[in-house]
Amino acid sequence: MGWNSYNYYGCRPSEDIMVSNAQGLVDLGLADLGYTSVTTDCGWPSRDRDSEGRIQWNETLFPSGGPALGQFIHGLGLEFGLYSGAGYLQCGSTDLPASLGYEEIDAETFAEWGGDSLKYDNCYPVSNTTMVDYVSKESISPARFEKMAGVLDTIDRDMHYFVCQWGVGYDVGEWASAIGTTWRISNDIFNAWRSIWRIANEVVPYYRHTTVGAFPDMDMLIVGLKALSVEEERFHFGMWAINKSPLIIGARMDAQHTPQESLDILANEVVIAINQDPLGKQAELVRRYTEEEWDIWAGELSGSRKVLGIANWRNDSQTVEVDLSAVGVASAKARDVWAATDLGSIEEIHTVELSGHELKLLVLSDIKASRPLESKGYYSAANASIAGSAEITDCDSGDCLPVGQKIGNIGSGSTVTFSSVNASSAGSKVLGVDFINYDIALDTAWDNGFNIRNMTIAVNGGVSKRWAFPISGGDWFETGRLTIESDGFEKGAENEVVFGNVGDAWAPDLVGFELF
């Protein structure tokens, strides 16, 4: 938790900016709530290193020097955060040095300055002429970040390591969680609501790697930047909190510039406690209702509690019915976090009224567990009939679980048909759809890249229904599961379930589904 200069000031920090905002954290009471890390982002150094190769602070912007800034920040009881990059130059510049090739001397220098953390960015990985590169071997490799991690382990100072690699490449959660206190899972957040949808769809599979001391970074908060409505700011802050993302403020720490409503959101002690829960367990996407535009998220908290997030992606208000058995709960005491209201005991189907773009957060305690859903069979892609461009692929051992095969290239006009699906009764059923999607929004992050692939499902010739599948894992062979409800089943073994794409876009790869 802390503050970073980038979201408000870009790559134009200064001594005055850093001093006033560090002081603002204290004066606004946010430091007392845990916002203690203060980081000067891109734009701080001089163009030239000294004769010994040591990186230098820009004396015009920082006349007292970086070490003096660190002393001031430490004097406030805060942590001194530093910034560099794993490339030739810093992001947002054409001539400011980063740390590629200077890892040892820079790490020693950062320690001598009293640095408490290092945010390590990903620009100019191959040359000093191309700032952003998502495809080269050097860009997708973890080697540059692992090099600095190894060097930091040798210096005589403990420093948090914030890997800012943007989720480029493969198996990022696996390698980055092993070396970083935090690791960026996505391209930069954008000052618009659509960024929240994009990043939420990319964080989904990282629960596999999140633990105490290793947290997925959904990027800095845009709360207080007047880019979102108050309801959307609560949604944004809550979504970051339940997924155990760092809470790094990007707004100006001045009540005359940052709305009080936004400061109140940042200061909500219950949401902060969810984020900082000692178990360090990320929430999971439990159930999705794409056409209805809402999700159920849930995560384990200390004290045998759960946090339940009901996310309304719709612009308008709606009333939804939450089946608590979806999160393994038969009954529980519930507290509405944002309303600061005890709801008493809730059970079975809980009705929730949602405002447009509201994330309802409930903390559940005194939980009585529900009976687990009963599996009625698994249907492998290998046994489906395919049409159009769809084709089946054999995967290496350990990939495309649980069956080792997948159907890909599900494009325009393609279908994947499962026949002889056996349902014990008629009506709506729960399906656990095993899929693979690694269509990550990098160069499309500023436009319409949302980290989803859409797929339709139709039962027994009924109307096809669309589902938005998030990122599933670390590559095109790691399976994720989206749990949905689908109607139209008849009792018996003659049911037909047909999967297809939407429009001209590709569907996710399909491994199979389990019927409950």
DSSP H helices, 90-248, are: 103-112, 137-140, 143-152, 172-179, 194-203, 230-242
**160: nearest Cα among 185, 183, 187:** 183
- Give the type of residue at 474: G
Count of Cβ atoms closer than 10 Å to residue 179 Cβ: 18
Tokens found for residue 102: 């200077």
Q: Is 322 in contact with 299 (CB distance < 8 Å)?
A: no
Rg (the chain; Cα; Å): 24
Q: How far apart are CA 456 and CA 472, in angstroms?
A: 17
SS3 label, residue 9: helix
What is the spatial distance between Cα 463 and Cα 338, in angstroms, rounded to a whole number?
A: 38
Please give, one letter per residue, the 3-state secondary structure of 434-465: EEECCCCCCCCCCCCCCCCEEEEEEECCCCCE
User: Exposure string (b/e) for 72-100, b if CB count within 10 Å is 16 or more?
Assistant: bbeebebbbbbbbbbbbbbbbbeebbbbb
Give CA–CA dist 234/259, Å, rounded. Answer: 13
User: What are 473's two structure tokens?
Assistant: 């894992």
What share of residues in the chain are helix, strand, coil (percent, to 5)? Answer: 20, 35, 45
DSSP assignment of 342-386, as one string?
EEEEEESEEEEEE-TT-EEEEEEEEEEEPPPPPP--EEEGGGSEE
Q: What does the chain come to in residues?
A: 516
Closest to 350 in 3D by CA, of 391, 318, 321: 321
Q: Which strand (E) or helix (H) includes residue 487?
A: strand 480-489
Q: Which two tokens stand for residue 443?
A: 């160069």
DSSP letters for 47-67: SS--TT----B-TTT-TT-HH
Strands of 218-355 (E only): list them: 248-249, 284-289, 294-301, 305-312, 318-323, 329-336, 341-347, 349-354
Active site (catalytic) residues: 121, 188
Q: Coil, helix or strand for 392?
A: strand
Contact 6, 22 (CB under 8 A): no
Our CA angle for 381, 387, 389, nearest 5°, is 95
